[in-house]
Amino acid sequence: MARSSQVKEHPEKPGRFKESLLVDFINQTDLDQMGDKASVIDAFFTFAQAELQREAQELINAESLNTEAAKRYITTSLKREFASDNGTELNAVLPKMSPLNPQYLTKKQSVFQKVAAFVEKFKGVGGRV
């Protein structure tokens, strides 16, 4: 993708990204090799999008979530820039478990909190889950 379209697609809003994402980028990138501000911005978005995909898959695997439903829910949450526990989207993400199971609400709340933190960290970076 051409740099100009990527910068246009992902407006420069560094204040919106979590510090840990920026710190990881800085620690894993040779900033001296970057020629200009646009190159650094492009490299950051590329890094952040790769991290988004990696961490989304880790979350899905760790919580034994329904993969396709989880990807849809996370993608929708990223577009909205917040996770919602209203409606049936979150329920569809959860592993097969009866709502009458005493662990169901605990699991639902735990997954919701983890997705909300994920969205807070990655909102605004673009990319795909």
Tens digits of pLDDT across the chain (129 residues):
333 333 333 444 444 557 889 999 999 999 888 888 899 999 999 999 999 999 999 999 999 999 999 999 999 999 999 999 998 999 999 999 998 999 999 999 999 999 999 999 999 888 889
Query: 69 phi and psi, to 5 degrees?
Result: -65, -40
Please, are residues 75 and 129 in contact by the beta-carbon 8 Å criterion? yes
State the first-to-last Cα distance of the chain, in angstroms, to the nearest integer: 18
Burial 77-106, CB ≥16 within 10 A → b, else e: bbeeeebeeeeebbeebbeeeeeeeeeeee
| Total Cβ atoms within 10 A of residue 23 | 10
Helix %, strand %, coil % of the chain (to 5)? 65, 0, 35
